[in-house]
Amino acid sequence: MADRSGVPLTGKAVFDEELYGGAEPITGFAAVAQDVEEDEVDEREAAVASKLASYTAPKSVMADLPMQEDGDDDGLLQSRRIVDRESEYSRRRLNRIISPDRNDAFQMGDKTPDARVRTYADVMREAQLARERDNTMKNIADKRKAEQEAREAELAALDAVPTKASGMAPAAPPAGSAAAAAAAAKPGGKRSRWDSSAPIEAKKAKPASEWDAVEATPAVNRWDATPGQAPSETPGRIWSGGEATPAGGSRWDAAEPGAAAQPKRNRWDATPTPGHGFGAGPSETPAAGKRSRWDATPAMAAGGATPAYGGAMGATPAWGAATPAGGLGMETPTPGMLAAQQAAMGVPMTPEAYQQAKVEREMDERNRPLSDEELDAMLPGASEGYKILSEPPGYEPIRTPARKLMATPTPFGGTPLYQIPEEDRAQAYDVPQQLEGLPEMKPEDQQYFGKLLKDVDESELTVEEAKERKIMKLLLKVKNGTPPQRKSALRQLTDKARDFGAGPLFNQILPLLMSPTLEDQERHLLVKVIDRVLFKLDELVRPYCHKILVVIEPLLIDEDYYARVEGREIIANLAKAAGLATMIAAMRPDIDNVDEYVRNTTARAFSVVASALGIPALLPFLKAVCQSKKSWQARHTGIKIVQQIAILMGCAVLPHLKSLVDIVKHGLQDENQKVKTITALTISALAEASAPYGIESFDDVLEPLWKGIRLLRGKVLAAFLKAIGFIIPLMDAMYANYYTREVMVILIREFQTPDEEMKKIVLKVVKQCVGTEGVEPEYIRTEILPEFFKHFWVRRMALDRRNYRALVETTVEIAGKVGCSEIVGRVVEDLKDESEPYRKMVMETCDKVVRALGTADIDARLEELLIDGILYAYQEQLADESPVVLNGFGTVINGLGQRAKPYLPQICGTIKWRLNNKSAKIRQQAADLISRIAPVMKKCDEEKLLAHLGVVLYENLGEEYPEVLGSILGALKAIVAVIGMTRMTPPIKDLLPRLTPILKNRHEKVQENCIDLVGRIADRGAEFVPAREWMRICFELLDMLKAHKKAIRRATVNTFGYIAKAIGPQDVLVTLLNNLKVQERQNRVCTTVAIAIVAETCAPFTVLPALMNEYKVPELNVQNGVLKALSFLFEYIGEMGKDYIYSVVPVLEDALMDRDLVHRQTACAVVQHMSMGVAGLGCEDALTHLLNYVFPNIFEVSPHIIQTTTGAIEGCRVALGPAVILNYVLQGLFHPARKVREVYWRLYNNVYIGAQDSLVACYPRFEDDGINSFRRHELDVFI
């Protein structure tokens, strides 16, 4: 930046940090995520919550802007990349660094480790340092905050004084005052510590007494501490071995605005401090001395903070040199920044960045403001009677911050709209290069696989290089290849894992997994590679344990279930391969890491280790960690590990419950709130996992818990209540009663909490307490109910889905104790509430309560109120999808039974009226209601009313809306079902012909209800309809065999059976047999099922002759259809089949000798079903005969026929006994050809598994062989 005193006229646009927010939201984000995480209850909730937080907060949206732009550039397609769907919290995984290899203590033996190797001690020391630094920072920030607050008053006075700074720069005037305003308004507590630095520095001009504080600013340290990271070519950030902490990376970058403001204090020093790393930097500019306090913020800080970030770098090479480029690279690269950065450093851009920069430039160009000439050309001018108005006086163009931020400065001069790509063969960015025998490489892959593009002579490579190249090729194949390529590459990687060695493998795989452009599928594949390789490498992975964990741990909190499972599996395998000691050594330093994200994932990983290696192995370690005196973080994480173990392992914690509770119990008295909270949550998780056992293990925590709830407030209290809620159900009745009374006082107090989370927990705890045995109804009635209804049964509760559900569940639980009428009586008035969601909630509660408890204790008055309310709710409901009101209506009416009689006429009147309503939804609801209350109407002897409704429905069969028509048919079905065929009005003979055309309707709901109705009529009242009509229906039904819905096909097939029974099978059978000739497979299959069903309902002898006759048709489909029908037939008729076996044997003989595979296959299926049906019924001769035909098929290769052949042989084993099959099988068990033996042993094993015991008597006799005695003398014993 050339001139720091103002906004430059040319070059980059510069924004006021104070006004436009600068980089602060980035840190603001972290704070949000952390808070959310702390009170997370389970990971799904956390995911949802953190997402919500990032969408709602306007500040965070601001911070997200660069990110979103990034996404847009990729095109309009839905991105499949993981980063794009991740929450901000999960994205913190990218901040982690793959640490260097660690020493494997087991390999070293007694030797002292090499100084260059990182040992456990080194890592621990680094973690310690990081923590101390974090503490120091926090103290400093606290101190500053205090100072700032002290200065607020002073400043207020100064605000009134006008300065001439307002004239300094065109953009500055609003900025100056806004900066002051913002500084004054800022409460300090809200912001995170980093962003507070800028405003403070801005005000530093005044009090000289603040000198010490200035000296104490962490800026200097910060620079020293910045990781000395070389700009590595991969953004995968392998740590190149600097001394500083691995965790700090991005934080230091975020701190830059503060640091950037630093030089201002040099005004007071007069000389720049060399230690700053700015060199002869900005502090020497003459402008710095002139500036007043008000302009202190703009240009300078903007360089560091706004999206022009990278731009600033480009402009001032000094910056580029001073700022460790490695640190910069760690930021998620925004296109502009990348481009500028690379341009500044003279690095050729990656194709990705190039592409993005190009798109960006084009966007800018296309969206630039129109010039006057262009406007003149577009709009009609003065010649046509128009005139150009001048802008009104005082007009200022709107420059909203958002729009300004969007207007990314064009990084390069000149804006080519479209350029013909240069013919530069050396660097073809746009065309993905393809290598011989390798899959396509995406642009973003080039940084990892770029080496493959270079032409090298394989023979000149060293062994190491060759290995690296080989691994690279295989990985590329796994990542981008076709399935076969992938498969073989995966196999090679697995097979050669030990040859390649752990180092070279992981050094390539892990950076790939950290790549920000990774997609789900790619991650899955790479994780699979790790999994396979782990098995092979076994103890060789030890030095890489931590690296792998860094990459895999984020999977444990992924929103995708399968990713979580995958992560768990890998970590479990890793634990088994590396051993407990190594795992602990690798993860111990992360336990008290300063970053909450790292601790969270580490805790989860530890719980997986516990489940893999057993809880007892981990107990001593956990005990030590949970009692750590050094840092609360360690205790927090230790306790969290126990929580995660409980969540992960469920009731498997029971054997160790006592020790686990002992380990965490002291956390309840910890001085740190967070530790207290997590301890309570852990105890609730343990209690939940061990329910209903293990109360004795919780003895020690009862007292602190109950004491705690009296003393605590807020989040901690919520956690404590939650723990109590889960412990009470484990107690004996007596204790439960006592403790419930104790806690109820607090719960009732918390009923009025405004905190949503607390509300949910309170509801849950009330539910748990009330559900416990020892709590008496009277107590609930007098103590809990009044307050409960006062605070929870309000409209607001119905608006949030989760509150709604919790409230209904709790109320139903209470009703279980105090009885139906108590609860219904309290809510019944609200059925007439004006808020629909609230009415629904009331309705659902009534529904569930009545369903659970019946209506016995509802008195006449309440009954009236209830029906009245329900009718009101039913009539008032807007047409929506949810069936809540309908269900409630049905349940209550059915619950009342005969008591509903007086209300039925009124209800029916309403229904009739609504059946003619204009709105389709209302008509549908009316029809649905009829089907629900029809049984009750019958019970109340309201047959006349029912019949009348039947007529009304019949008249409505012309309905156009399929949904409504379906419901009407359903209602008719319900009426027919209760009043029977004979008394149905309209009479069946009128009704059915009306239904036939409806069968043609293609809507699934209509089809299903219609076919059900027709089927029922065919079943019960077929005689009312002439046979001709039934035949017509048969033809219609054939079409329905193609339906997608299985229920429809099944109903259709059954209907064929009923019709055949009604009018005799001949005609129906002819129709069906003809249908076997159609092409469509599903249709044929359904037809065969129908034939089998007809045969079953009308006895097989009426069908078999025609069926076997059809086998003569020389057409493959027909013959197979016949066989298939036989197969179903024998399956359905079971042991009735014994009378028909001999008649079908000739057909089966023929089929089993057919050349066509499917013939034999289907015939085998027939044999299987037949033999199973007739086992033990004396048909052995026929079955043995058929088995002789089946047996040669064992050598077939197609899986289907193998399966059916095996099935047939198994069936014969059941029918003929295992001895027969054993004798068949013995022929080939020791055949000289292995292929033959394979088949025979498979059959032998089947027989063996099926009839192990009975085979004992049938084995052949063996003679002793040398020292081996094979004879079974025991079988020769006789008395």
List residues binding other proteins (CB under 8 A): 1197-1199, 1202-1203, 1206, 1229, 1234, 1237-1238, 1241-1242, 1244-1246, 1248-1249, 1252-1253, 1255-1256, 1259, 1262, 1265-1270, 1272, 1274-1275, 1277-1279
CB of 512 to other proteins, least distance (A): 30
Considering all CA atoms of the chain, what is the largest pairwise distance in Å, rounded to the nearest integer?
Answer: 132
Nearer Cβ to other proteins (369/1199): 1199
Of the pair 161, 1267, the CB lying nearest other proteins is at 1267
Q: Between residues 468 and 1210, which has the closer beta carbon with respect to other proteins?
A: 1210
Smallest separation, CB 1165 to other proteins (Å): 16
The least distance separating other proteins from the CB of residue 1227, rounded to whole angstroms, comes to 15
CA-based nearest residue to 1128, from 1053, 1065, 1070: 1053
**CB 401: neighbour CB atoms within 10 A?**
13
Q: How near is the Cβ of 1256 to other proteins at its closest, in Å?
A: 4
Q: What is the smallest separation between the CB atom of 1218 and other proteins, expressed in angstroms?
A: 12
Q: Shortest distance, CB of residue 946 to other proteins, whole angstroms?
A: 56
* Smaller CB separation from other proteins, 393 or 1266: 1266
Listing DSSP states for 512-542 in one string gives HHH-TT-BHHHHHHHHHHHHHHHHHHGGGGG
Whichever of 382 and 1249 has its CB closer to other proteins, that residue is 1249
For other proteins, the closer of residues 734 and 1256 by Cβ is 1256
Question: Any idea which residue has 């500053």 for tokens?
Answer: 144
CA atoms within 13 A on the CB side of 801: 0
- Helix and strand numbers, DSSP H then E, in the chain: 67, 0
CB nearer to other proteins: pick between 1035 and 1195: 1195
Question: At closest approach, how far in Å is the CB of 939 from other proteins?
Answer: 53
CB of 1279 to other proteins, least distance (A): 5
Measured from the CB of residue 485, what is the shortest distance to other proteins in angstroms? 16
87 three-state secondary structure? coil
Kindly tell me which of 607 and 1162 has the beta carbon lying closer to other proteins.
Answer: 1162
Q: Name the amino acid, one letter, at 394.
A: G
* Least distance from other proteins to the Cβ atom of residue 1084, Å: 22
Alpha-carbon span 1055 to 1015, nearest angstrom: 5
Q: Which two tokens stand for residue 417?
A: 């709209």
Q: Pick between residue 314 and residue 1207 the one whose CB is nearest to other proteins.
A: 1207
CB of 1124 to other proteins, least distance (A): 21
Task: Report in angstroms the alpha-carbon separations of 645 from 409, 609, 622.
Answer: 51, 9, 11
Closer of 457 and 1274 to other proteins (Cβ) = 1274
Secondary structure of 1117-1175 in HEC code, one letter for each residue: HHHHHHHHHHHHHHHHHHHHHHHCHHHHHHHHHHHHCCCCHHHHHHHHHHHHHHHHHHC
Q: List residues bridging with 637 in a β-sheet.
A: none
Least distance from other proteins to the Cβ atom of residue 1226, Å? 11
CB-based burial, 633-646: b 16+ in 10 Å, e otherwise: bbbbbbbbbbbbbb
Residue 715 identity (one-letter amino acid): K
β-strand partners of 1265: 1268
Instruction: Indicate the residue among 696 and 1238 with the shorter CB distance to other proteins.
Output: 1238
Q: CB 712 → other proteins: shortest distance, Å?
A: 54
CB 961 within 8 A of CB 920: yes
C-alpha–C-alpha distance, residues 418 and 425, integer Å: 20
Residue 1248 Cβ vs other proteins, minimum distance, rounded to whole Å:
6
Residue 936: burial class (beta carbons within 10 Å; 0-12, 13-18, 19+)? buried
- CB closer to other proteins out of 1178 and 1199: 1199
Tokens of 827: 């809510």
Whose Cβ is closer to other proteins: residue 273's or residue 1254's? Answer: 1254
According to DSSP, residue 1265 is labeled: B
- Between the alpha carbon of residue 948 and those of residues 335, 617, 974, 979, the distances in Å are 73, 75, 14, 12
Closest distance of CB 1253 from other proteins, Å: 5
Give the pair of three-digit tokens for residue 609: 């280790």
Buried b (16+ CB within 10 A) or exposed e, 674-690: bbbbbbbbbbbbbbbbb
Min CB(1273)–other proteins separation in Å: 10
> Which residue number, 499 or 1238, has a Cβ lying nearer to other proteins?
1238
Terminal-residue alpha carbon distance, the chain: 112
Query: CB under 8 Å to 1185, separation ≥6 — which residues?
Result: 1145
Q: How far is the CB of 1176 from other proteins (least distance, A)?
A: 21
825: left (phi over 0), alpha (psi -120 to 50) or beta: alpha
Q: Between 773 and 1238, whose beta carbon lies closer to other proteins?
A: 1238
Q: Distances in Å between the alpha carbon of 617 and those of 610, 611, 698, 1080, 1109?
A: 8, 10, 22, 62, 73
- Residue number, 976 or 1164, with CB nearest to other proteins: 1164
Per DSSP, the three-state class of 1268 is strand
Is the CA virtual torsion 1174, 1175, 1176, 1179 positive or negative?
Answer: positive
Smallest gap from residue 494 Cβ to other proteins (A):
18
**Which of 283, 1206 has the CB closer to other proteins?**
1206
Going by the DSSP 8-state scheme, the letter that residue 255 receives in this structure is T
Nearer to other proteins (CB atom), residue 710 or residue 1272? 1272
Tokens of 1215: 């029918």
Are 664 and 682 in contact by the 8 Å Cβ rule? The answer is yes
* SS3 (DSSP) at 1041: coil
Measured distance CA(874)–CA(891) in Å, rounded: 13
In angstroms, the Cα distances linking 1011 to 965, 977, 1004, 1019, 1033 are: 13, 14, 10, 12, 10
Separation between Cα atoms, residue 723 and residue 691, nearest integer Å = 13
